[in-house]
Amino acid sequence: MCGNNMSAPLPAIVPAARKATAAVIFLHGLGDTGHGWAEAFTGIRIPHVKYICPHAPTMPVSLNMRMSMPSWFDIYGLSPDANEDETGIKRASQNIKALIDQEVRNGIPSHRIILGGFSQGGALSLYTALTTQQKLAGVVALSCWLPLRNSFPQASANIANKDMYVLQCHGDADPLVPFIFGSQTAEKMKSLINPANITFKSYRGLPHNACPEVGVGKVTF
């Protein structure tokens, strides 16, 4: 994978215990890598599911005083009216769509692929699912928001995933991505896809962290 013209290592992969007939592509948060999530999935994996945890490229992040770190796109601020890195978000989304396409070529139908992520990775997973033409099984979005929200519904006018399942989880004590961002995102999602297929779960006292058991571990194919 590449992003912002910077290379990133090959994804961390947890292979299926038997023939893979489904896949989870899970995107880590800002400053992280896919290794920790891959290790966590190893302990809760479903035998026929392949888990793919890509790594974001390293780039300067405006929010963190331009320090270089793994990031799917630049973040200028965390306020609702902050400018967004539209070019970087769209480029990162294209990279994830290419990863989905690769798994389809490997023999896993797109409707057997769940896209998920935590924080910045969850944000990218939501945006990608709404703009891809590949029909997905669903999205698991942990402690995140919908990027470029004002571009919808135009950006998803021909959405292939109007009936996909979305599980959103958010801690009500999150100091980095406020809980209201998650709840407002869920309401926005209900206006874009079948609202009956959206589940929003809040976790009392949970700050800005998560574990796969909260979301992907409870999803069945």
Candidate list 32, 74, 85, 174, residue with the active-site label: 174
Rounded to 5 degrees, what are φ and ψ at 172? -80, 0
208: annotated active-site residue: yes
Give yes or no: 119 in active site.
yes
Active site residue 170: no
Of 119, 125, 143, 156, catalytic: 119
Tell me the residue type at 93: S
Give long-range contacts, CB 8 A cutoff, 24+ apart: 217-220.
Answer: 217/44, 218/167, 219/24, 219/114, 219/138, 219/140, 219/167, 220/46
What is the full DSSP assignment across 23-84?
Answer: EEEEE--TT--SHHHHHHHHHH--TTEEEEE--PPEEEEGGGTTEEEE-SS-B--SSTT--B
Q: How far is CA 194 from the centre of its chain?
A: 19
Q: Which residues are catalytic?
A: 119, 174, 208
